Chains A and B, each alone.
Chain A
């Protein structure tokens, strides 16, 4: 069983929704990332999403665009991100790590080289924002053979026909993009969300993660009642923007946000177990 599947079994068994913080690797500086990953786990993260910096992050809002620019100013590229995962794995062999980014750095490294290196480093899932299942057959095959889950997005605009297609290709979990927009957009509406997730559950047994637009603990708690996992990105990355030099303060602030969300999510699930 993959680390991702095992982790979702654990969270399901304990009646919790998983919390998945996203941070851009190398932001605000390369040596912050690995200690930050450990901090986030200590604060209550169940899985980690690590953003691979890209010069043209088309699906991201201003917060993550700037994070990419800060990381690239230090030269943090895909090779370094894999090094970071390897370093993280030396002391944490349980927490799944998902790489999230854009295809071109992978193409440049070469899909085979990338997949081998990712597997060796201890990567558990790969989500390429600009790689829909239609274009992914080769890479998805390589990933699966290496024991890495190809993770795909489902959006509010995904038709029923496409949903079948995406669900068939997806492994690990399905990432539901909660709104039409880029990362960091306005808050989502949890009521509409529930109905959409039901439609996906009707055709897939995979856990459902929800991301884009989860800004605060209250929203995280509301989403935790209907989803298997809550992904929080811009709300954390924004803190790196506020503390570009003070790395200790950034790490503490990021951990505090995760802790607050964790508490609110668990309280919401305990209050209404029927929603699970």
Chain B
């Protein structure tokens, strides 16, 4: 593993055609190739443009509320009796999750491209809310595709999106969840490619999305690295983040890739347990294939059909994963584990009662893994968890499990 850490020039990836080793790339219908070329050109141009970067930075500070704190969870650390646990507080971002870091960035690009209409897919609704928010602010028309199934289980976020002026379209095809919402958004984009900008919510999709979303989310890791150095004088021993598509995880990991001493652990949704097949853990239990424009690990059957996934958290309920994670896994630079619904729920309650922070169910998966490994580490070691979102959106789900009707 350490050999790999020294050998790779991380800044050189993806290559110009969007490949992370054998993963990534651009697997879409011809109609979209021109739009993706255009997007890549403008993204590469503006990521070098001081004026654009200054505008992004101002939005991060004034609109999102950055930098978010790095919080030393002292009581939890003491209880666990091992490594010091730090939380990167992305739950304090405007709209309640890390998703807005990316929608702000892409919306600024949409504006420069002169697009008047924004579309997005959403699972838990956090990315949909973050997209509707930036669209409202820029005065752009906004359509959000959401699986009919997810509309049922995340109704508060549906209402938030509608308040913000977005048109929320229920997707009835396939499994009626996030993957189908993504299919539908792609179909919209093919049809309306002239005036429409598609804001993808995670580090998936065709090139340049995995690289672009990573670059916007990397503010998380840049801040966390500087904050941890300032607070402790050293780098953390490990980073832990939940992985749905993988944007909050890569956002935390990426600025640390060149630090060989820092271990990285991505936590997938183990659902009812890997052995049951009812989970959303392609890196732990899937194999490489092609879906939604890139080559990556997928959950599929022997015939190459994508299979139904399950997780208690809608935001992790996705059969694929960002291609950069697939590559980091193969290289051994990051490791990927899974945590069940039940473990995540226990971690949700423990964090809430111990630290006074109600986490979303997605990062509760990362917390559960830390509860497992921190006791086996020394008190002079430290772990950073990406607390990617707050739990307000999940209160209905939690209450229902406890037999309470809100």
Do the beta carbons of A103 and B290 come within 8 Å of each other?
yes
Contacts known (A62-B173, A104-B298, A181-B191); A155 close to B31, Cβ less than 8 A: yes
Do the beta carbons of B191 and A162 come within 8 Å of each other?
no
Interface members, chain B 291-313 (any A CB < 8 Å)? 291-293, 295, 298, 300, 302-307
Contacts known (A108-B302, A181-B190, A181-B191); A130 close to B28, Cβ less than 8 A: yes
Least CB separation from A166: chain B residue:
B30
Which B residues lie within 8 Å of A154 (CB)? 30
Contacts known (A69-B174, A180-B194); A108 close to B30, Cβ less than 8 A: no
When the two chains form the complex, which single residue of A54, A78, A130 contacts B27, counting CB atoms closer than 8 Å? A130
When the two chains form the complex, which single residue of B35, B190, B295, B300 contacts A108, counting CB atoms closer than 8 Å? B300
Interface members, chain B 27-72 (any A CB < 8 Å)? 27-35, 37
When the two chains form the complex, which single residue of B27, B292, B304, B307 contacts A105, counting CB atoms closer than 8 Å? B304
Dominant secondary structure at the B interface: mixed
Which A residues lie within 8 Å of B179 (CB)? 56
Per-position binary interface string of chain B over residues 184-202, scored 1 when its CB falls under 8 Å from any chain A CB and 0 otherwise: 0011001111100000000
When the two chains form the complex, which single residue of A61, A77, A129, A155 contacts B303, counting CB atoms closer than 8 Å? A77
Distance between Cα atoms of A256 and B305 in the complex (Å): 33
Which A residues lie within 8 Å of B193 (CB)? 157, 180
Which A residues lie within 8 Å of B187 (CB)? 58-61, 182
Interface members, chain A 36-83 (any B CB < 8 Å)? 53-62, 65, 69, 72, 75, 77-79
Contacts known (A61-B187, A157-B193); A55 close to B29, Cβ less than 8 A: no
Distance between Cα atoms of A58 and B145 in the complex (Å): 14
Do the beta carbons of A109 and B304 come within 8 Å of each other?
yes
Report if B25 contacts A (CB, 8 A). yes
Report if B397 contacts A (CB, 8 A). no
Dominant secondary structure at the A interface: loop
Which stretch from A27-35, A131-139, A238-246, A263-271 is at the chain B interface?
Answer: A131-139
Contacts known (A182-B187, A182-B191); A56 close to B30, Cβ less than 8 A: no
Per-position binary interface string of chain A over residues 12-34, scored 1 when its CB falls under 8 Å from any chain B CB and 0 otherwise: 00000000000000000000000
Do the beta carbons of A182 and B26 come within 8 Å of each other?
no
When the two chains form the complex, which single residue of B29, B194, B306 contacts A56, counting CB atoms closer than 8 Å? B306
What is the interface size of chain A, counting residues whose CB is below 8 A from a CB of the partner?
46
When the two chains form the complex, which single residue of B29, B173, B180, B289 contacts A129, counting CB atoms closer than 8 Å? B29
* Chain B proximity of A103: nearest CB distance (Å): 5
Which B residues lie within 8 Å of A140 (CB)? none
* Chain B proximity of A213: nearest CB distance (Å): 11
When the two chains form the complex, which single residue of B35, B174, B302, B306 contacts A157, counting CB atoms closer than 8 Å? B35
Do the beta carbons of A131 and B35 come within 8 Å of each other?
no
Distance between Cα atoms of A103 and B206 in the complex (Å): 14
Distance between Cα atoms of A269 and B231 in the complex (Å): 80
Report if B183 contacts A (CB, 8 A). yes
Top-9 shortest CB links A-B:
A108-B304, A77-B303, A105-B304, A155-B31, A153-B30, A59-B29, A55-B305, A157-B34, A181-B191
* Chain A proximity of B26: nearest CB distance (Å): 7
Which A residues lie within 8 Å of B234 (CB)? none
Which B residues lie within 8 Å of A60 (CB)? 187
Report if B17 contacts A (CB, 8 A). yes
Do the beta carbons of B303 and A153 come within 8 Å of each other?
no
Interface centre among B30, B179, B290 (most CB of A within 10 A): B30
Distance between Cα atoms of A130 and B36 in the complex (Å): 14
Interface members, chain B 68-116 (any A CB < 8 Å)? none
Which A residues lie within 8 Å of B292 (CB)? 56, 58
Do the beta carbons of A78 and B303 come within 8 Å of each other?
yes
Given contacts A104-B306, A155-B33, 11 further A-B contacts (CB under 8 A): A58-B29, A59-B29, A103-B27, A107-B289, A107-B295, A109-B304, A132-B33, A155-B29, A158-B33, A181-B191, A182-B187
Which A residues lie within 8 Å of B32 (CB)? 157
* Chain A proximity of B131: nearest CB distance (Å): 20
